[in-house]
Chains A and B, each alone.
Chain A
Amino acid sequence: MRRLLSLHALFVYLFLYLPILVIAALSFNEGRRGVRFTGFTLKWYQDLFQDPRVLEYLANTLVVASVSTLVSTVLGTLLALGLVRYRFPGKGLLRYLLYIPVVVPDVVMGISLLLLFAFSRELFGFPRLSLTTVILGHITFQVAFVTLVVRSRLLLLDPALEEAARDLGARGLKTFLYVTLPLAWPGVAAGALLALTLSLDDFVVTFFTAGPGATTLPLYIYSSVKLGVSPKVHALSTLVVGLSAFFLALGYALSRRRV
């Protein structure tokens, strides 16, 4: 029984990793087509880095990811704190609104933001679809995830620690900066890394909210894939996977730190 279970697990892990490893191997393959390995080469990576558009898309992706992660981490951390510490009217509504970006299929999220921007443009003349609207869209789903991650961390904290700080004379902001934030830090960092990964990964919301000149790497991968399989996309995919793996490993290391 146990051996059967190990065999099954081995099979599933192979299933999970084989496609990614094949792509990575093919990105170093000289041959353009097929899976026969005809020789080692770095030319697909050279091609990639010599393409000025790719660098522009990379810059766009990084701008969107860094700005949206920064904003959503601040908003989400504060929101989580408010939800955990205070009672106020509308709290129930906010909790439901937090779940919407998490459970709704992203195509629905994408078109609803597109509709919002279209209505707003009709009424107020802005915003034009651009990198800005992409950032607004990313923040929207990121805020939900950051809030949920930070909230679960805050729920683990002992409220007595904050009370102690107040008894010792610390004001609201001081308690937050010197006690709450350091204690919640692993949650905040994990939330930020999750937000960053989600932004780097997002295709659908970007697809609906991007205007001309706002191409990101996932949009570029999509249009290249539509044109056919190419070793250049293998190379780009390998780089992106490597980058994501790095961020996830960082998050994993942080999350292993105890409360």
Chain B
Amino acid sequence: MNEAATPAQRLLRVLVTVGPGGLWLLLFVLLPTLLVLLASFLSRGPYGELQGPLTLKNYARLLEAPYLEAFAESLLVGGLATLLSALLGYPLAFYIARHPRRDLLLFLLLLPFFTNFLIRVYAWLVLLQREGLVNALLQAFGLGPFAFYPSFFAVLLATVYTFLPFFVLPVYASVERIDWQLLEAAYDLGARPVRAFLHAVLPQTYPGLFAGSVLVFIPAMGTFVVADLLGAGRVVLIGNLIQQQFGLSRDWAFGAALSVFLMGFVLLALYLYARTQGERGLEELV
């Protein structure tokens, strides 16, 4: 770009700009990731420390029944949360995109999302408890009280609540880019509203739908806080298993294997996403 810069000057500029941040990423992102991989092949020593020799037994353990159940439950929470987010978020994205004050509506969507995650989960605990608002309202109609908390239902509800904006934002971005002339063309060709929507509008929002699904599915599967607080031990997801291994059980090697497994899932989801959307899609996702 600048002919005057000598190779030494260019090197200096790269070192000054990229150097500190790059070093940080190598030390605190790449190295820890490799350490997790290493730890997953070690074993738990008598005092909870990590010890050799290298073994595959942590991975063999993943196939045991309680762990498989946790995987199944994580998939269920992730899948249902994604589905519910789509039902709530997809129409909302259209509403926001076509609203004259869409900046404000987006801001209002993000506001709760940027307030403390724990507090948002806690809020549901307050609403769903026996003396909570939900039961109070139901009792006004002569129903209940119900034991909403702790339960799978509570976990699912709070998961959707916390990750919903992740779904709306990418869908909104693709709705904004819709070429509405295609819809008019579909009408001109005699399509009725449902058919016109399915053929002229829906396909244009696939990138947003894919992105939103990945962005809800991954954190919904991976979190341990929601299941911990609202499931209170009744709902055990992969994240809870990992937390247990690094907490009470103190089996870091097995915890690391669980993490590698979860990471594998995440990378698979991202790979599938990148396959369908291209690498640019991946960048837009972030």
Q: Is B181 an interface residue (CB 8 A)?
A: no
A203→B111 CA distance, assembly (Å) = 18
B222 cross-chain contacts in A, Cβ below 8 A:
104-108
Contacting pair A111 B25 (CB below 8 A)? no
Q: Which residue of A lies closest to B131 (CB)?
A: A34
One of B28-36, B56-64, B183-191, B200-208 contacting the partner: B28-36
Closest to A197 in B: B114
Q: Could you tell me which residues of chain B, from 12 to 59, have a CB within 8 Å of some CB in chain A?
A: 13-14, 16-18, 20-22, 24-26, 28-33, 35-36, 39
Q: Is B107 an interface residue (CB 8 A)?
A: yes
Q: Does B86 contact A (CB under 8 A)?
A: no
Q: A105-B262, A201-B114 are in contact. Are A97 and B29 (CB under 8 A)?
A: yes
Contact call B18/A79, Cβ cutoff below 8 A: yes
Given the contacts A9-B96, A35-B132, A203-B117, A225 and B229 also touching, CB distance less than 8 Å: yes
Q: CB distance A15 to B125 under 8 Å?
A: no
CB distance from A32 to the nearest CB of B (A): 10
Contact A86 B92 (CB under 8 A): no
Residue in A79, A105, A143, A249 whose CB lies within 8 Å of B266: A105
Does any Cβ of A come within 8 Å of B126's Cβ?
yes
Chain B: interface residue count, which band? 35 or more
CB atoms of A172 and B13 under 8 A apart: yes
Note all chain B residues with C-beta closer than 8 A to A102: 286
Residue total for A at the interface (Cβ-Cβ under 8 A): 90
Chain B neighbourhood of A203, CB < 8 A: 116-118, 225
| Residue from A79, A104, A166, A218 in contact with B263 in the complex, judged by beta carbons closer than 8 Å | A104
Is B70 interfacial (CB-CB < 8 Å)? no
Assuming the A-B contacts A78-B20, A79-B17, A82-B17, are A113 and B120 also in contact, with contact meaning beta carbons closer than 8 angstroms in the complex? Answer: no
Shortest distance in angstroms between B181's beta carbon and chain A's nearest beta carbon? Answer: 19
**Does A184 have its Cβ within 8 Å of any Cβ on chain B?**
no
Interface of B is mostly: helix
Q: Name the B residues within 8 Å of A100 (CB-CB).
A: 29, 33
Determine whether B71 belongs to the interface, using a CB cutoff of 8 Å to chain A: no
A48 part of interface (Cβ distance < 8 Å): no
Per-position binary interface string of chain B over residues 74-89, scored 1 when its CB falls under 8 Å from any chain A CB and 0 otherwise: 0000000000000011
Residues 134-149 (chain B) with a chain A CB within 8 angstroms: 136
CB distance from A69 to the nearest CB of B (A): 14
Contact indicator B95/A34 (Cβ below 8 Å): no
A252 interface residue, CB < 8 Å from B? Answer: yes
Q: At the interface, yes or no: B65 with Cβ under 8 Å from chain A?
A: no
- In the complex formed, the residue of B with least CB distance to A162 is B1
Question: Is A245 in the interface zone, CB < 8 Å from B?
Answer: yes
Within 8 A of B (CB), among A32-83: 33-36, 74-76, 78-79, 81-83
Query: In the complex, given contacts A12-B92, A76-B21, what are 10 additional A-B residue pairs having Cβ atoms less than 8 angstroms apart?
Result: A20-B120, A34-B131, A82-B14, A88-B18, A105-B266, A111-B252, A143-B21, A166-B2, A225-B125, A241-B119
Which residues of B come within 8 Å of A, CB atoms?
1-2, 4-5, 9-10, 13-14, 16-18, 20-22, 24-26, 28-33, 35-36, 39, 88-89, 91-92, 94-96, 103, 105, 107-112, 114-120, 122-127, 129, 131-133, 136, 161, 164, 193, 218-219, 221-225, 229, 239, 242-243, 246, 252, 255-256, 259, 262-263, 266, 270, 282, 286
